């Protein structure tokens, strides 16, 4: 038996709000540790988390607007607009992180404090896994917005694991500082790819393409 659409939509708003709260709680710690540890990898994660938080907040508004009249022909337009804004933010984060990472590699990577880098990445990994649990694997079958949030959360968990490994290696070896900007470049590539895909889909939806924003 299929779930009641109204119940599913209320559940979506509640889960998005919880994941938003988790992301917001992370940002301050990531920025503080990124600056203190001089880690562009951690700062890249902070930028991505900030972009995610903005997208979640806007997405929560868009979903709420959609749910006021879900049968309206343009009910999903707010979600498409939010997707385009999110894509622009992700692309901006990609450019900033890429420029900084390349500059560090060209000039010689400065010393990075691996231990705090590893600790904050472990906390981030735990928070992202918690967020994925809150969303539930069923989110990938609800609609494209919930699916994108779940996939982004899982991608952030994988990214945090990568920074955790790099931070641990730097901490234990007392060197290999080039791992930090390299990890940042990998993160930038993933973020940029996601942003480009989202932008293409959002523009197509705004131009009238039949983008499946809601499979309830």
Q: How far apart are alpha carbons 36 and 55 in whole angstroms? A: 27
* 151 pLDDT more than 80: no
> Scanning the structure block, which residue is given the tokens 């038996």?
1
Mean pLDDT for 143-172 is: 81
Share of the chain above pLDDT 90, in %: 4
User: pLDDT tens, 104-137?
Assistant: 888 877 788 889 889 998 998 998 888 888 877 6
- Do residues 206 and 64 touch, judged by C-beta distance below 8 A? no
Identify the H or E element spanning 73. Answer: none
DSSP 165-208: HHHHHHHHHS--TTHHHHHHHHHHHHHHHHHHHHHHHHHHHHTT
- Do residues 52 and 23 touch, judged by C-beta distance below 8 A? yes
Please tell me the predicted confidence (pLDDT) of residue 214.
43
Residue boundaries of the structural domains of the chain: 5-206
Provide the 8-state DSSP code for 1: -
What kind of fold does domain 5-206 have according to CATH?
Alpha-lytic protease prodomain-like (1.20.1510)
- Do residues 42 and 166 touch, judged by C-beta distance below 8 A? no
Sign of the CA dihedral with 112 first, then 114, 119, and 122 last: positive
- Do residues 154 and 140 touch, judged by C-beta distance below 8 A? no
- Do residues 148 and 162 touch, judged by C-beta distance below 8 A? no
| Chain centre to alpha carbon of residue 84 | 14
Higher pLDDT, 17 or 69: 17
| Chain centre to alpha carbon of residue 6 | 27
Burial of 52 (0-12, 13-18, 19+ CB in 10 A): buried
> Scanning the structure block, which residue is given the tokens 């990472």?
101
- Average pLDDT along the chain: 78
pTM: 0.71
Q: 70 CB contacts (<8 Å, ≥6 apart)? A: 5, 9, 214, 216
> Scanning the structure block, which residue is given the tokens 């890249």?
44
Please tell me the predicted confidence (pLDDT) of residue 112.
86
Write out the two tokens for 199.
């932008």
């Amino acid at each position: 038996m299929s779930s009641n659409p109204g119940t599913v939509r209320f559940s979506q708003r509640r889960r998005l709000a919880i994941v938003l709260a988790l992301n917001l709680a992370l940002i301050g710690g990531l920025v503080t540790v990124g600056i203190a540890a001089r880690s562009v990898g951690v700062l890249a994660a902070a930028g991505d988390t900030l972009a995610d938080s903005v997208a979640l907040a806007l997405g929560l508004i868009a979903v709420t607007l959609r749910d006021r009249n879900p049968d309206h022909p343009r009910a999903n337009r707010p979600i498409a607009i939010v997707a385009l804004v999110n894509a622009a933010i992700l692309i901006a984060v990609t450019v900033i992180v890429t420029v900084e990472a390349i500059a560090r590699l060209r000039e010689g990577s400065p010393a990075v404090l691996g231990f705090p880098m590893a600790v904050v990445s472990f906390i981030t990994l735990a928070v992202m896994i918690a967020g994925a649990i809150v969303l539930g694997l069923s989110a990938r079958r609800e609609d494209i917005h919930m699916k994108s949030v779940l996939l982004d959360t899982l991608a952030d968990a994988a990214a945090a694991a990568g920074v955790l490994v790099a931070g641990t290696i730097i901490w234990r070896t007392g060197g290999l500082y080039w791992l930090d900007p390299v990890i940042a470049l990998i993160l930038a590539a993933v973020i940029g790819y996601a942003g480009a895909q989202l932008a293409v889909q959002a523009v197509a939806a705004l131009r009238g393409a039949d983008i499946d924003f809601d499979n309830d």
